[in-house]
Copies of this chain bind each other. A is one copy, B any other.
Amino acid sequence: MLVLDYRSMSNEALSAEKADLEKRYADFKARGLKLNMARGKPGVDQLDLSMPMLDILNSTSNIYASTGDDCRNYGLGDGLPEMRELFAEMLGIDDHNIIVGGNSSLNMMFDAISCAMTHGFPGCKPWSQQGHLKFLCPSPGYDRHFAITEYFGFELITVPMTDQGPDMDVVESLVKDDPTIKGIWCVPKYSNPTGITYSDETVRRFAALKPAAPDFKIFWDNAYCVHDLTDTPDTLLNLWHECRKQHSIDMPIFFASTSKITFPGAGVAAMGASEHNLTVFREHYSYQTIGPDKLNQLRHIYFFGNLDGVKLQMEKHRAILEPKFQVVQEKLESALGGKNIAEWTNPNGGYFVSVDVMDGCAKRVVSLCKEAGVTLTGAGATFPYQKDPRDRNIRVAPTYPPVSELELAMDLFCIAVQLAAVEKILADRA
């Protein structure tokens, strides 16, 4: 079959294509689908992988930490030493720089921002007493990151994402003279949603940043640090070591969790930071809680043993997820390839594929899918204030539906992308 660039097609040919697409769309709608690809949720078969963890603590002989502490009782505010070691290995930082928290790394990020708002960092006023403040949001990016800083009243500054990470020319130029810019959100490996991994140069430039604000922080959310999906996984340069070299160790704050390794909502989260930063956060936590859920940490420790156990688990996840990501690529390529109406990423890991449709078409595509029973992440969600200036980016989250449903959903998605494009081209010509 000859594939035609939509933009070079005649009005007549486009109208015929439109009629065909509308018919196929109507057929889909008639099927009464009800699928949800809005969030990066693991599928049921992924959750089943961790079932042995649930009854792994079953005797009074295995409820002790390596310290001898009874994990059922209060204590060990920084978390179990063995859990701190595991996160230290995952994040590539020192274990005494790790605080293990509850079930949500997002919660730890929120608390870090909240703590900075009310108490601030050594030598600086609390952020809430510094007037109008700004936060950098590499976009497309993670909506829940942006939302936290929006909730706390920051002006959100969009920084373009490249295939090397955030555009560092823009970042460097913004932070060097503006002390009201207090931080930047980063998902450095298999970035949400583009799936790219920051290049070594990007990481080095982060470590070498010279922000005007002495309390500028890099929120380094390494959510997908072990979430490889191919035989050619990405590697991320270690920001912790680079910052040590650059004497900028107080700049980054590291986050990770097992939410997408074991159970979302019943995993374990952790943060890592320099001693200076930890002084601030440890004080915060000493008032906020008596301690984290150590039994859940212990479950994880028994289940994994060590980082090798985590890697083994991630191979099982990959076996489930890789075919789903292949479906997405195949469907996109076969339906949209060569038509000059969409571009998409093909990541080596993570949870998302990022699709850029024609400018001004993303909302229409999401709306068409919604009407036909497939819920996607809202158009614009990947940008500050949920406003994609070009209305073109859509985050595809293929992990939750079974393959058969995913195929259907992607067929519908591709029809919607084409239909919106034809409509747009015809309207532009009118």
Listed in ascending order, the chain A residues whose CB lies under 8 Å from chain B are 39, 41-42, 44, 47-48, 50-51, 54-60, 63, 70-75, 102-104, 106-107, 110-111, 114, 117-119, 128, 144, 147-148, 151-152, 263-266, 283-284, 287-296
A273 to B17, CA, bound (A): 57
For this complex, 29 residue pairs linking A to B, each with C-beta atoms less than 8 Å apart, are: A41-B73, A48-B60, A51-B60, A54-B55, A54-B63, A54-B295, A55-B55, A55-B58, A71-B265, A71-B266, A72-B264, A102-B293, A104-B290, A106-B290, A114-B118, A117-B118, A118-B152, A128-B128, A148-B287, A151-B287, A263-B295, A264-B290, A265-B290, A265-B293, A265-B294, A265-B295, A266-B293, A266-B295, A293-B293
Output the least CB separation between A298 and chain B (Å).
Answer: 9
> In the complex, what residues of B have CB within 8 A of residue A48's CB?
60
A6 to B292, CA, bound (A): 47
* A266 x B296 contact (CB < 8 A): yes
A104 to B148, CA, bound (A): 22
> In the complex, what residues of B have CB within 8 A of residue A59's CB?
51
* B55 x A72 contact (CB < 8 A): no
A117 to B118, CA, bound (A): 8
Given known contacts A102-B102, A118-B152, A293-B296, A107 and B51 CB-to-CB distance under 8 angstroms:
no
* A57 x B55 contact (CB < 8 A): yes
* A289 x B60 contact (CB < 8 A): no
Given known contacts A48-B60, A103-B293, A265-B291, A74 and B114 CB-to-CB distance under 8 angstroms:
no
> In the complex, what residues of B have CB within 8 A of residue A44's CB?
70
A288 to B353, CA, bound (A): 25
* B288 x A106 contact (CB < 8 A): yes
> In the complex, what residues of B have CB within 8 A of residue A118's CB?
114, 117-118, 128, 152
* A47 x B74 contact (CB < 8 A): no
Top 8 A-B residue pairs of the complex, sorted by shortest distance between their CB atoms:
A55-B55, A266-B295, A55-B58, A110-B288, A47-B72, A107-B289, A151-B287, A54-B57
* A265 x B55 contact (CB < 8 A): no
Output the least CB separation between A5 and chain B (Å).
Answer: 40
A57 to B292, CA, bound (A): 21
* B117 x A74 contact (CB < 8 A): no
Not counting A73-B265, A118-B128, A263-B295, a sample of 13 additional A-B residue pairs whose C-beta atoms are within 8 angstroms of each other reads: A50-B72, A51-B59, A54-B58, A54-B295, A73-B264, A75-B265, A107-B288, A107-B289, A147-B287, A148-B288, A151-B284, A265-B290, A266-B296
